[in-house]
Structure formats: structure tokens, C-alpha cells
Amino acid sequence: MNSSLGIVLIAMLGGAIRVSTPFMFVAVGECLTEKSGRVNLGLEGTLVLGAMVGYAASYHSGSPWFGVFAAGIAGSWLGAMHGYICKLPRVNDVAVGIAMMLFGTGVAFFFGKPYIQPTAPRLGSIPLGAWSSNADLASALNVNPLFFVGILTAIALGWALRNTRWGLIVRTVGDSAAAARAMGISVDLVRFLTTTVGGFLAGVGGAFLSLSYPGSWNQGLSSGQGLMAVALVIFARWNPVRCVLAALLFGGAGAIGPSLQSVGITQGYYFFNAAPYILTLGIMIATSSAKRSARDMPGELAMAK
Amino acid sequence: MKSGAPAISQASEIAPTALRTAPGGPADATGQSEVALRLRASSEYVAIPAFALTIAAVLFSIFLIAIGKSPFDFVDNIWRGGFGTPFSFQNTLQRSAPLILTALAVAIPARIGLIMIGGEGALVLGGFAAAAVAVPMVGFVPPWLTLPIMAIAGVAVGALWVGLAGFLRYARGVNETISSLLLTYIGIAIMNFFVEGALRDLTNPNKPSTKPIGDAYMVGKIPGTDVHWGFFAGVALAIILQLVMTRTTFGFAARVTGGNLRAALAQGLPVGRLIVSCAMIAGACAGLAGFFEVAAIQGRANASLAAGYGFTGILISFLARHSPLAIVPIAILFGGLVAAGGLIQRRMGLPDATVLVLQGLIFVVLLTSETLYGRFAIFKTVKVRDRT
């Protein structure tokens, strides 16, 4: 019993690291977008398109890192589309997000059909667990470099938002568009750029799904990770570093089902699969309030109004 | 509040009538020009979506040409697969039944200012609930008693599911768009949990499903057609909800709440009850769609219930500008698109996601076209004074 509990915990550790990486990228990207006062609900579609493009690019070029880059470009393309449409007057950014989610998913499924069968070169992992004689622990600590890239991006973004001129501009636009305009900042341009960069990061997160874990391209690859990441930003109170911690928590929740399965507990597999969604909902209930808007929320965010 | 669209449209419909009497003079007072003015004012809500559809069609044609397919073939196949023959048209009507209901599930909350996209989850759970209550009754209870109980189960579970998102919105301020979508994933997981476990039909090795309810317990067809009663239920509900939303105190209170939450609170309207009621009506519609999918099409509950009807319903509701009556023709149009999907796949060698691409494109272009309202002088009935 004790050893199987150990296996579950180790599997959950490894699972948390693996499952959290796409969450992290999408959440950090969405964090930047929301800091500028715009919501992009379409990141679910961006994630799926990124996964498909990353896989296809890796297959054709033979280089998985080129795949990651291509996925980012595809994601930024969708983000730019969202950013451009939302700057038009009277257009609702939440509704456009839903539309972009359908559009991105549709395009990915359409062009991704030929890539379901072939195997593309995957991203390698860093065997951080090589020192351990425990095979389970060693495999759990096979960490993909993108995990660290994500953490570094989050730290860099958190620092830049606080300490640079650019960060100040983004925060001003997000807290008061009127003040930003008075300072001579182009609100539309800033939001367009943050949405584009947010899309790039979400696309990279998608590439992780298809090129590392689970590591193949199919139509059921993403099931709401992009949306959960949006909820996760609210939970992380619009702070990129807290986004990373929240992503790890979500990754752990997502790893419960597969970890239990690895020791032969298959009962309730679907129930545990729902754990991240239930956790997200529970966190949203716990952190929201009908009377005041969430702490640290950018003032221009449509969700708050 | 978000989703100001319904409120704005209401306001601009009313405004010209109020203003007209002042500067208009005797020419406007005659009955004929009154009608003409009204037509001109409301034609904006037809012309701009039609324009958006045209743009989407052009973009999609370019897309088809770019991948080496003929747009004319595409239209031809949609016509043949969806509308051309009595058989295909009846198939289309059948497919449009869940679309009408899931679109209503978006339209009613939208009237009160909420973007609820949980129709898919309520459909799946409603269908599952209908199948789950039917399975122990099959063989013991006669069909005329079983079917209403199934319908009630589906409607009740759907209403509770989306009602929960409405309640959370009111009581805790939880963003209803995200929570309703999360509830969709949880709903699908709940169905899978039971269908793969406790309620699994072990005689069916192919696809985890509940036990079949049997032919005797299926909902029949509308006499003289090949279309099941779900289509009738959808159209009837659309008419009823149109009346409820435009002609009753409840509908008026809901629209006031959607237009201006503070005004509604100041008036002492029961905002919480209204929000939860609208969400529950929405869930009931989607749950009913699930009941008909199980009782008229599938005969059992399994993963095929999550066929994306809930998501297409979102698009239809936005295209209909959240008007229950306008949903019906648009749902039939999209039902045809869904029905022709198979034919497009076979005849043109296009993947089944083609319809998804087209839907996404229409949706994006349509929402972009929102920006065009009020920009064309031709739709204006009175001279608007310079706002500056």
C-alpha cells in the first residue's frame, strides 16, 4: 500500500510538471492580454491550432523546435485576428473569443487530418532524474525544456510588467483607457500587440501538447485546457508568476486520474478526469464575489463590468 | 454589462418612433409612411447579417479555390444534401430540431445580458438523464407514461445544470461564460462515468452506451413526414418564448435587467430570480434537445450525444440576434449544412471539419459586422443631431 501511494505521488509529480506546461503558456499569454484590458476566450482554438501546426511543421522540417516556433507564429496570427476585430467599435470581445475558438479548432481539424497518422519528431526531455535509482522517479523527472522556458517567460513578464516602461504602458491601458489616451498612448495598438503576443504563447503551449505530452496530434488533444487557463488567470490575480503556481496546481489535479490508473485503480477514471474542471469551478466560486470585483483586476476588463 | 446588443437594438427601435412626431410633421403621420419607416429601421437587422453572410461566403469560396475545390460544387452538394429532395429536406428539419433548442438556450440568457454557452453540457446530461430513467422502466411501464417521464427528467436536469451557472453568476459573481463551459465538460464526464461504469450495456462491446430503450419507446414521427416531434417542439417553444420575452411582464423585466442592471435594481425587480429563471429556461431547452436526441434518434445515451449541436446553437443565436422566432429559419439553414456534411465529405473529398471551418468563419465575420450598425444613412429614419 505504502509503495503504491509513493508511486501515485511520484506519478502525480511528473504528471503535474507535464500537464501544467500548456496551462502555463496559455495562462501567461492570457495574463498579458488581460493586463491590457482585453479578454481572449479564443485561446482554446489557438491551443489546438498551435498543436496541429507544431506537429505538421516538425513532421515536414524534421526539427521539433522549428515546430514550436511555427506553432507560435500560427497562434500569433489568430491572436492578431482577434486583436484587430476587437478594436472595432461595438464588437464584443467575449463573443468574438467564442467565435475564434470555433474557427481555430475548425481550421486545425481541417488541415490536421493528414497528420493524424504520421509520426513527427518530438521534443527531447532533460533527464533531471538520472541520479535516482528509482525508475519511476527518474521518468517523472524527465522534464521538457519548454517547462523551464515557460517559467522563465513568466518571471520575465512579471518583472517587465512591474519595472519597465512597456509594462507601465500595458498596465495603464488595462486600468484606464482614458488615462492612456491622455498620455498619448494608442490603446488599440497596445491591445493588438498584447493579444498577438498572448496568441504566440498559447500557440507554443499547443506545440507542447502535440510534440511532448501527450505527444501526438489528434482531434481530442485539447479538451478545454485553453479555457481553464483563462479561469486560472483570474485565480492567479493577473500575476504571471502566480499563473505558473496555479498551472502546477491544475496540472496536479489533471494528473490524478492517470496516476491512479498507473497503479491499477481504474474505477472512477472519468470522475478523476473531471477533477481539473471541478477544481477550476470551485476556485472560481471561492475567489469571485457578487459585491466587489476581484482583487488586482485590470479596471478595463469587460468581465468585471 | 456585456452583450449590450439586444438592449441597444431595443433602444434604437423605440427611439425613432418617439422622436418622429416632433420634427416629422404631417407627412410622417400617415399610416403608410409609418410602416415604411418601421420597415426601413428594422431592415438594418436583416441587411447587415445578410451582408456578413455574403462576405463569409466569398471568403469561404476563396478558401475552397485555394485548396483546389470548386465553390459551386460545394453549394450544389449542400443544396442536394440539405434541401433539394423531400428526403434530404426532412433530414435537415430533423437535424435542425436540436439546433433550434440549443440556440434558444443561448438566446434567452442573452436577453438578460448573460453569455451562456453551456447548451452542449445540458443537452448531454439531459439526454443521459432521459435514458437513465427509461432503462429501468422499459418493459414494465407503458410508453405513453415513460416518454413524458423521460422528457421531464431531461428538462429538469438540463434546467438545473445551466440554472447552476445562473445561480453562481448571481450569488457569487462567477463569470457565466466560463462556468457554463466548465459545466459542459463536467457534464460530459458525468455521462461517461456512468456509461462506462454502472449503467453500461455489457452486450454492446463496440461503444460504451446505456441499454437501448427499444423501438416501442421511441418518439414517433410527425404524421405524414419523416421528421420526429422534436422539430415541432422546437418551433412551438420558439414561438412561446418569443411571446414570453416580448409580451409578458417577465420578458420585459428580463430585458430591462439585460439592458441596465442598475435601473432594474432601482426598480426593485427581482434580478436574482430573473437571472436564475432565464438560465433554467435555457437549460430546459437544451435538456429537451437531449431527450429528443435519445428518444427519437439514438435510442440510448452515449458519447455521440456530444455532437457539437450546443456549439452550433451559439452561432445560430447570435446570427438571429437572440430573437427566438428568427432562430427557426436560421437553424433550418444550419441543419441543412450539418445534414449535407456527409455528402460534402464523400463527393468532394473534404474532411468533415469543413463545416466547422465554414461555421467559424461565418461567426467571426458576423460578430465583426456588429461594428456596421448605425453607420449607414439609408437605415436612418430621422436625422440624428450631431452628437459632438
For residues A52-56, average pLDDT: 95
Alpha-carbon span A53 to A71, nearest angstrom = 5
Cβ of A284 within 8 Å of Cβ of B356? The answer is: no
Q: Which residue among A94, A103, A293 places its CB closest to the CB of B361?
A: A103
pLDDT at B18 over 50: no
Residue B386 in any domain: the answer is no
Q: What is the pLDDT of residues B326-349, one digit of tens each?
A: 999 999 999 998 889 888 888 888
DSSP three-state, residue A127: strand
Mean pLDDT score of chain A, rounded to an integer? 88
pLDDT at A300 over 90: no
Instruction: Please tell me the predicted confidence (pLDDT) of residue A171.
Output: 94
- 10 Å Cβ neighbour count for B29? 11
Residue A282, chain B, CB below 8 Å: the answer is no
CB B244 within 8 A of CB B250: yes
Q: Which residue among A96, A100, A106 places its CB closest to the CB of B356?
A: A106
Q: Write out chain A residues lying below 8 Å of B125, CB-based.
A: none
Among chain A residues, the shortest Cα distance to B190 is held by: A271
For residues B64-90, average pLDDT: 91
pLDDT band at A74 (very low <50, low <70, confident <90, very high): very high
Q: Which residue among A102, A268, A280 places its CB closest to the CB of B182?
A: A280
Domain count, chain B: 1
Alpha-carbon span B177 to B116, nearest angstrom = 5
pLDDT at B12 over 70: no
Instruction: Please tell me the predicted confidence (pLDDT) of residue B7.
Output: 42
Q: Which residue among B3, B172, B186 places its CB closest to the CB of A289?
A: B172
The complex scores an ipTM of 0.89
CB A78 within 8 A of CB A94: no
- The range of the structural domain enclosing residue B322 comes to 5-22+33-379
Record the cell numbers describing residue B159, joined without a space: 434546467
pLDDT at B14 over 50: no
pTM score of the predicted model: 0.87
Which CATH number is B202's domain given?
Answer: 1.10.3470
Alpha-carbon span A22 to A27, nearest angstrom = 8
Among chain A residues, the shortest Cα distance to B64 is held by: A110
Residue B140's contacts (CB-CB under 8 Å, 6 or more residues apart) are none
In DSSP terms, B209 is beta-bridged to B302
Q: What is the pLDDT of residues B261-307, one digit of tens each?
A: 889 999 999 999 999 999 999 999 999 999 999 999 999 999 889 88
Minimal CA separation from A273 to chain B, in Å: 7
Cβ of B354 within 8 Å of Cβ of A88? The answer is: no
For residues A143-161, average pLDDT: 95
What is the percent of chain B with per-residue pLDDT over 90, rounded to a whole number? 56
Residue A7's contacts (CB-CB under 8 Å, 6 or more residues apart) are A136, A259, A262, A263
pLDDT at B17 over 50: no
pLDDT at A252 over 50: yes
Instruction: Please tell me the predicted confidence (pLDDT) of residue B276.
Output: 96
Minimal CA separation from A41 to chain B, in Å: 9
Residue B166 in any domain: the answer is yes
The CATH number of A2-287 is: 1.10.3470
Domain boundaries, chain A: 2-287
What is the percent of chain A with per-residue pLDDT over 90, rounded to a whole number? 54
Q: Which residue has the cell 477544481?
A: A279
Residue B388 in any domain: the answer is no
Cβ of A278 within 8 Å of Cβ of B359? The answer is: no
Alpha-carbon span B376 to A118, nearest angstrom = 52
